Structure formats: C-alpha cells, structure tokens
Amino acid sequence: MIVLGLTGSIGMGKSTVAQMFRDEGVPVFDADACVHRLQGPGGRLVAAIESAFPGTTGPDGVNRAALGRVVLGDDSAMRRLEAIVHPAVQAERTAFLTTHAEAPLVVVDVPLLFETGGDKVVDKVLVVSAETAVQEARVLARPGMTREKFAAILMRQLPDVDKRARADHVIATDIPLAETREKVRALITCMRDSEGR
C-alpha cells in the first residue's frame, strides 16, 4: 500500500481533488470530516472541548464559530485544542488504514499535514495549489469568512511556496477541472504502476 498525504492551504481545492481520488475508487481519509464528526452532536470530543473551553458547545455539538473566536490568534488555546483533537483523529486514521490494508493506494487528506508532522507518516505528499488571487477569491466567498479570519488561518499554515517545495507531487487547481482530473488520474496510474498493481 502507498499512503499518499494530500494537503494544501485553505482555498487551494483540496476537497475537490480528494473527491477526484474517490471518483477513481481510491479510499480517502478526510481529517476535516473526521473532526466534524467527533465534534458534532454526540461526538466523543464534545465534552472534553466544553471542559477546556466552556460555552463553546451546545445540542449540536461544538459551535465552531464560538470555538474559533476563542482559539484563533491564541497559541496556548490552540495547543490545548490540538491536544484534544489530534490524538482522536490519529486513532481514526489508524483504523481507516487497517480497514483498507489491501488497497494499493490510499489518500490521507490532512489540511495541516506538514504543520503537524504528518508528512513523516505517509509515503508520498501531494500538494494542491492555486494562484494567490484564486485562493483569496475562493476563501472570501465562504459564508462568515472575513479578511481577518483568513489572515489568522494563513498564519497557522505553512506558506504555499514552502509546501510545494517539500511535496513529492504538486497538482494545480486554478486550471480547468478536466485538466486537474487528468493529472489526478495520471498520478494514480503512476503510483499503482510503481507498486506493480
């Protein structure tokens, strides 16, 4: 099995590329979706987050906007949150890899792959990237997003240029979708061929 780490800064098109891998039959572990599930209604991290950050949860689980207001820009608070979330996500990822142990290729979709050291536990890293203007337009079009929030998120992320320099593969997402999809298919073929599958 090849474990491909998929990452990219906010607004770079990572979710779109992850779906392209799924469309080609490649199992994908989505760290963001995992966090949403763990923090959602009845999620197993809700009580721990409420204990650490009172008033940030409710009947629907973690109120992400309220939690964001508490931790964004506060390194100490962010570290406390990560100490709750990261081990739980790691356990879910381990279970995913066990479930798909016979697959020739799996994708682990982690937004902060480099920032959390996740690049050391995958075989190859794919970074998705787009021009800065495209990234900014995508992000600022999201509901509730502001320039200040966008800037705070970027401060926590390794710059795109550094991610691209450390990647084994880079796929552009500011080109026609069909071209991005062809690059994904070519990468899948290349990786499967390298494994003799």
pLDDT digit of tens for each residue in the chain (197 aa)? 899 999 999 999 999 999 999 999 999 999 999 999 999 999 999 999 999 999 999 999 999 889 988 998 788 999 999 999 989 998 999 999 999 999 999 999 998 899 888 899 999 999 999 999 999 999 999 998 989 889 888 888 899 999 999 999 999 999 999 999 999 999 999 888 776 55
Q: H/E element holding 89?
A: helix 75-99
- pTM here is 0.86
Chain-centre distance for alpha carbon 47: 24
Q: Is 12 marked within a binding site?
A: yes
Domain boundaries, the chain: 1-27+105-196, 32-102
Q: Which CATH superfamily is domain 1-27+105-196 in?
A: P-loop containing nucleotide triphosphate hydrolases (3.40.50.300)
Q: Is 76 marked within a binding site?
A: no
137: Cα within 13 Å, side-chain hemisphere: 6
Q: Is 73 marked within a binding site?
A: no
Q: Is 11 marked within a binding site?
A: yes
